[in-house]
Amino acid sequence: MRKTPDFIRNLKNADQKIVCLTAYTAPMATILDRHCDLLLVGDSIGMALYGMDNTLGVTMDIIIAHGKAVMRTAQNACVVIDMPYGSYESSPALALENARRIMRETGCDGVKLEGGQEMEETISLLVGNNIPVMAHIGLQPQSVEKEGGYKVKGKNAEEVARLLEDAKSIERAGAFAVVIEGTIENVAQQITHSVSIPTIGIGASAQCDGQV
């Protein structure tokens, strides 16, 4: 049986780090599955497989098709699928509709969405409707155009305070884990120590509870 979001949540402060890798296809999932706690069907597929400049062109149909492919062979790892840009930001109701579609059509174990404090209501709604959510803070690829590029987070006191509140908001909303991307090492470490859910680092601190 595959590992569950509750299994991942319970790995907070575990002796062994959580192992997460991205998988976009059935062959990739077959190779990686046995070695991972988490497999992420990430919207980075836009750049990795489709030659896009960023993640913004990935659609629901694309992510669902690849999510299905991964789910056909994954037997061990918990499988989480990214919610694409435009599929959840405008309202909690839209997020719920699209998260339900992803879960229903792929059979995955949970969804991931970007954002902190502004996503608290949305995450709470999804979790309240039995949709496990992994959050994503720090550098957020879906915000690359708005922010004028890929920029490291946590460089000043204001950013640090915002990131800490983002993490607390996500925790309150019921997310089972949070990805911290592109964030100054000591800040990611501080976030990890401030919340009771696992942190998964990507270009962040080795002190996170796991790594992508």
Which of the residues are catalytic? 181
| Cα separation, 205 vs 212, whole angstroms | 11
Predicted confidence at residue 151, as pLDDT, reads 79
Predicted confidence at residue 44, as pLDDT, reads 95
Predicted confidence at residue 148, as pLDDT, reads 72
Say which DSSP state 119 is in: G
| Cα separation, 201 vs 211, whole angstroms | 5
Decide if 139 contacts 151 (C-beta within 8 A).
Answer: yes
Q: What is the pLDDT along the chain (212 residues), one digit of tens a residue?
A: 899 999 999 999 999 999 999 999 999 999 999 999 999 999 999 999 999 999 999 999 999 999 999 999 999 999 999 999 999 999 999 999 999 999 999 999 999 999 999 999 999 999 999 999 999 999 887 877 777 778 788 889 999 999 999 999 999 999 999 999 999 999 999 999 999 999 999 999 888 999 99
Structure pTM?
A: 0.93
Predicted confidence at residue 142, as pLDDT, reads 80
Predicted confidence at residue 88, as pLDDT, reads 96
- CA-wise closest residue to 181 among 7, 22, 2: 22
| Cα separation, 148 vs 24, whole angstroms | 27
Predicted confidence at residue 177, as pLDDT, reads 98
